[in-house]
Amino acid sequence: MKQRYLLDCTLRDGGYINDWEFGHDNIVNIFERLVASGVDVIEIGFLDDRRAFDINRSIMPSTECAAKILGKLDKKSSMVVGMIDYGTCGIENLQPCSQSYLDGIRVIFKKNKMYPAMEYCRQVKALGYKVFAQLVSVGSYSDGELSEVIRLANEVKPFAISMVDTYGLLNPKALQHIMKIIDESLDPEIVLGFHAHNNFQLGYTNTVAVLEYNTARDVLVDGTLYGMGKSAGNAPLELVAMYMNEHHGKHYVVTEMQEAITSSVMDFQKRSPWGYQLFYYIAASNKVHPNYVSYLMNKRTLSVTSVNAILKRIPEDQKLEKNMKLIEQLYLDYQKHECDDRKDIEKLAGELKGKRLLIIGPGSSVGTCSERINEFIKQEKPVVISINYIPMQYHPDYIFITNATRYVQSTSKLLESNNAGIKVIASSNLTKKVRDFDYVINYSGVIDEAAEFPDNSMCMLIRTLMRCGCKEVVLAGLDGYTADSINYFDVDKEYSFLKEKAASLNDYARKFFAGISDKIHVEFLTPSKYQTR
């Protein structure tokens, strides 16, 4: 077993958390603390010619910028490297190594770009840099594809070739299988590296497995301070360093790493937490890109079981591709449990005919305008229909449910004796849990597939009522959204993503009401941003 080395990539991978805006003081502090810790390799950020130079950011358009940011600080025995995502930094933006603050450059690439990327590595090496060939999503390589990229590496002879577990999918057994294939065929002088992610809480465990692999070649492992990094984060540098001190005769000064964490990293963690989360676990367990999970979870209409079911429908060749049109279509297809709802519409229309209708949403005005709402109910005696919840202060006659998550939250209330008379109108994408639905409305018949949020529950209910022949409706608690205040009466029902989409949601609703004004009269009992001026 030969040498084991430790690389820190906080300033590069950690930059996904803050768009690489660490601030110049923090960049300098992190760098100097890492140098003082004795870490072998320090990756100072991305080289990306699409980004303008900014002394406060660890992403830069050329190698010349490295010295501008670090001011030729003493790097002592540490090797200093930058990273290029192949295709984002032209060779003309790289100085000869003899003129650069950088000692090496890591080139990261997907397997479908291995041929041009390895040729690019050859050009970078010709400039005098130590070149690291970084294999994105190494777990997605077949044994044959691994053999081919090794063949290319043996021709180019980079300083290192690294296994990158981009989405944290690997376990020690799978990792060691990949390592064995590479180790047996790779030129013995080429260092074998590993970069972990923590989706399965295996970042540290996998890193230790690589360190303990019985090989005659040098091995390099990555880490970041406090695990700072994209998605679920990385193997924590300070823990890996401690392990290497205890088991591989290293003498890294872990207290310097701890100082960097407390002085320059913890504040970012408080603002934008990283680490193991259900979100990233679901992505890793389905071997899909996290953006797919983000799209489905942000819908807030699906149970976790449904999310997993949709993810399993993604074709194998699209799982890591971020094809958002595909996931949107899969979502809509999954929701479309087609049913013939004509009898239910006819029955519901008979019950609602000639009656005043009050729809109650979850907006904060159900509390602030409670006197007005109660007075309306007392005077007008309307049929009350609530949307996706049972309001405690008003007793609805019907609950209109389109959202699986909200339905699960309402099931216990539906079983209470005082709610026994509430009738359930459900869209066909739902599966009954505690009792039969009184009415089932065909989901695809009341959504707007062209909209950013096709299944807006308020719009779905009004379309349903229009199908029932209703000519007027009164709305309460359908306030619209603001980006800087509480939108829901029940704060627990508030979704942060709605604030981010507040303007577009309000605009869509106003256009919706304008478009149906000749078919149904809509009156707002409580203030709403949906009202047209």
What percent of the chain is predicted at pLDDT more than 70?
Answer: 95
Q: Give alpha helix (H) positions in 353-469.
A: 365-368, 370-380, 404-415, 457-467
Three-state SS at 533: coil
Question: Hey, CA dihedral for 285, 286, 291, 292, is it positive or negative?
Answer: negative
Q: Where do the structural domains in the chain lie, given as residue ranges?
A: 4-271, 286-335, 342-524
pLDDT tens digits for 329-338?
898 888 777 7
Question: What pLDDT does residue 203 have?
Answer: 96
What's the DSSP call for residue 189?
T
The stretches in the chain having pLDDT less than 50 are 487, 489-496
The CATH classification number of 4-271 equals: 3.20.20.70
The per-residue pLDDT for 494 is 44
Q: Which two tokens stand for residue 474?
A: 């009164």
- What local confidence, expressed as pLDDT, does residue 482 receive? 79
Q: Would the pTM of this model clear 0.75, i.e. be above it? A: no
Give percent helix, percent strand, percent coil of the chain, each to the nearest 5: 45, 15, 40
Query: Where does 418-531 have alpha helices with state H?
Result: 457-467, 496-500, 502-516
